[in-house]
Amino acid sequence: MMRKFLGPVVLNVFAWTTILAVAFPLFWMLVTSVKPQSELFRRPPTMLPESWTFEHYWHLLSQTNFLVYFRNSVMLSTVTTLLVVTVATLGAYSLVRFRYRGRESLAFMVLFTYLLPSVVLIIPLYLMLVSMGLSNTLFSLVIAYTTFALPYALWLMRSFMAGVPDDLEYAAMVDGASRMGAFVDVILPQLLPGIISTALFTFILSWNEYLYALVLVNSDEARPLTTGVMNMLISSFNIEWSLLMAASVMMSVPLIIVFAFLQSYLTRGFGAGAVKG
């Protein structure tokens, strides 16, 4: 009798503890960003700010390069995501649907990227990009992010692609579609959940990336948010906590929007029966 109640209780306590542990830093970030400077280091700390201020946000937007970094990050992540999703989708289609020599080994070889720590890859990559005349450009970061997002994206899309029955495409071809037409009309809609997962993964990865951005880009024109904000607010002597928290909040907003928007797509489409099982 006792166990019957105890089980759910333990489970609930565990779940809520986890949620709190994850959510509290976010809450603290939000609270800190709207506290005036004077309240910041008060002891004991105030859970909710006694007076609210948006001066840190205003300061970031008007007095700093924040908007430039933000625009860079948006462009960088969007272009990388488009590139990775396109290449991964077409690549997965090829790997699953066509038979050619080296197909399997090709799929495995792309995973080699993950066997080496990125620190090892970063110098050769930097030298290559410099010799291509791409140093200090956003595009160099697009290429760099693509190199480490693509292998995983390819494998993700490959498993989604493998779940789409051949017959669907063949049926479309018999019905008069070209191979490309069948791909667009019939395969792509089936891949939508996979494409969205891949896009989310790539976007978040690009948005939060720090190391490559630090090494490959050295000018404010091309700096994304991660390195830009660090560079601007954290020095050896001082950390601008309020500004940092305000910047962090604004950095999280696009991700939250993207998630909220795509979540329904992500779960929809799964489990839609295509052919009899």
Give residues in contact with another protein (CB under 8 A).
165, 167-168, 170-178, 181, 185-186, 189-190, 269, 272-276
User: 50 or 166, CB closer to another protein?
Assistant: 166
Nearest to 155 by CA among 84, 209, 224: 84
User: 121 or 192, CB closer to another protein?
Assistant: 192
Query: Which residues make Cβ contacts (< 8 Å) with residue 91, sequence separation at least 6?
Result: 154, 157, 158
To another protein, the closest distance from the beta carbon of 169 in angstroms equals: 9
How many Å apart are CA 202 and CA 190, to the nearest integer? 20
To another protein, the closest distance from the beta carbon of 178 in angstroms equals: 7
- Asked if residue 223 lies in contact with residue 72, where contact means CB atoms within 8 angstroms, the answer is yes
CA diameter of the chain: 74
User: 87 or 171, CB closer to another protein?
Assistant: 171
To another protein, the closest distance from the beta carbon of 81 in angstroms equals: 23
To another protein, the closest distance from the beta carbon of 156 in angstroms equals: 20
Coil, strand or helix at 221: coil
User: 171 or 204, CB closer to another protein?
Assistant: 171
To another protein, the closest distance from the beta carbon of 210 in angstroms equals: 39
Q: What share of the chain is helix, strand, coil (3-state, %, to 5)?
A: 75, 0, 25
User: 102 or 176, CB closer to another protein?
Assistant: 176
To another protein, the closest distance from the beta carbon of 93 in angstroms equals: 17
User: 191 or 246, CB closer to another protein?
Assistant: 191
Polymer length in residues for the chain: 277
Query: Which residues make Cβ contacts (< 8 Å) with residue 108, sequence separation at least 6?
Result: none
Contacts 24+ apart (CB under 8 A), 117-122: 118/148, 118/211, 118/212, 119/211, 121/147, 122/211, 122/212, 122/215, 122/216
To another protein, the closest distance from the beta carbon of 194 in angstroms equals: 14
User: 117 or 277, CB closer to another protein?
Assistant: 277
Structure tokens at 73: 């990050």
